[in-house]
């Protein structure tokens, strides 16, 4: 991870989206801040890695029907669903981009945020109870504790 520098100007606002209601609240707060500062807003979600599997005859047949979507199109739409749902609740006058990352959330988010100098990060609080946090670990806690970017956790 890169070292944070106090003089590094903010260049973007990032909202981490997992489909939860707290993530949507975080995206709304991020949009307010982005609009107020005149910065673009990027919504990021993490999807499970896509399994490499051969296309079946049925999937191929369905994708060749008029109006049918390919498996890749369906997967892309499913992965982007949390982002489009959150974006539907944001003001239309905020410059908005979507990013779908693949992999283990903590790992890919640390790497993605490290590659975004000047990012101010918003995310919803953890949805885990105390026992789940001990067993699984909280992405929110990890990012707030160890990220080189400023992180705002919205309850």
pTM of the predicted model as reported, rounded to 2 decimal places:
0.77
* Closest among 144, 145, 143, 126 to 135, alpha carbons compared: 126
Per DSSP, what are the bridge partners of residue 13? 41, 120
Tokens coding 70: 């390919």
Q: 35-87, pLDDT tens digit by residue?
A: 999 999 999 999 877 664 444 444 444 445 555 556 777 777 788 888 888 99
Burial class (CB in 10 A: 0-12, 13-18, 19+), 113: buried
Is pLDDT of 142 > 70? yes
Q: Is the model more confident about 121 or about 155? A: 121
Answer whether 121's CB lies under 8 Å from 153's CB.
no
Region 125-147: mean pLDDT is: 71
Q: pLDDT confidence of 26, banded at 50, 70, 90?
A: very high
């Amino acid at each position: 991870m890169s070292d944070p520098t106090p003089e590094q100007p903010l260049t973007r606002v990032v909202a981490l989206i997992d489909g939860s209601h707290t993530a949507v609240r975080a995206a709304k707060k991020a949009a307010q801040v982005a609009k107020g500062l005149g910065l673009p807003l990027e919504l990021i979600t993490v999807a499970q890695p896509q399994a490499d599997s051969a296309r079946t005859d049925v999937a191929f047949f369905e994708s060749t029907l008029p109006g049918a979507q390919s498996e890749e199109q369906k997967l892309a739409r499913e992965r982007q669903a949390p982002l489009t749902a959150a974006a539907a609740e944001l003001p239309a006058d905020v410059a908005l981009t979507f990013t779908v990352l693949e992999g283990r959330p903590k790992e890919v988010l640390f790497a993605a945020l490290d590659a975004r100098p000047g990012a101010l990060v918003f995310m919803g609080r953890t949805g885990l109870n105390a026992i789940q946090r001990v067993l699984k670990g909280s992405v929110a806690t990890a990012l707030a504790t160890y990220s080189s970017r400023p992180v705002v956790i919205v309850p």
